[in-house]
């Protein structure tokens, strides 16, 4: 992992529970902090997105949010001014989201993506540093 992180927060809704579990089990050496849920029983994705954004330290942490499409989690997470949540469906989108937008939360759609692809996207997201430079001024404008 080329991006140094203190905590890797993860949460899902019921639709994302299996993918969330798969990502954790596939990457046991990562500093996961699982915020739930603990089963695939019905829950509301905005509650878990809010829980994760409340724990996220934007200077030291990254996060992963999983729901059916990934879109609901991204919408809710991005309401927090310290969050730059990126809905990623390819490794290239994950790489650009980190390098150009300094995204700090990866959002994934469990109903529209295969588990292995999501794992590859996660690895790309975690290995890609923010480029800074010309992108830094643009990222600052996202929080105002």
Task: Give residues with Cβ within 8 angstroms of 129, minimum separation 6.
Answer: 2, 3, 98, 99
Rg (CA), the chain: 14
List the catalytic residues: 100
N-to-C CA span, the chain? 30
Looking up tokens 């109903």 gives: 111
């Amino acid at each position: 992992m080329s991006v140094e992180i203190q905590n890797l927060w993860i949460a899902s809704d019921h639709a994302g529970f299996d993918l969330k579990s798969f990502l954790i089990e596939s990457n046991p050496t990562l500093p996961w902090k699982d915020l739930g849920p603990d089963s695939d029983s019905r829950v509301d994705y905005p509650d878990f997105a809010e829980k994760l954004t409340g724990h996220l330290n934007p200077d030291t942490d990254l996060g992963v949010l999983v729901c059916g499409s990934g879109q609901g989690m991204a919408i809710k997470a991005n309401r927090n001014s310290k969050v730059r949540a990126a809905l990623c469906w390819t490794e290239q989108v994950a790489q650009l989201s980190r390098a150009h937008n300094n995204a700090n939360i990866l959002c994934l759609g469990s109903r529209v993506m295969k588990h292995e692809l999501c794992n590859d996207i996660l690895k790309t997201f975690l290995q890609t540093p923010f480029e800074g430079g010309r992108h830094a001024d643009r990222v600052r404008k996202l929080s105002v």
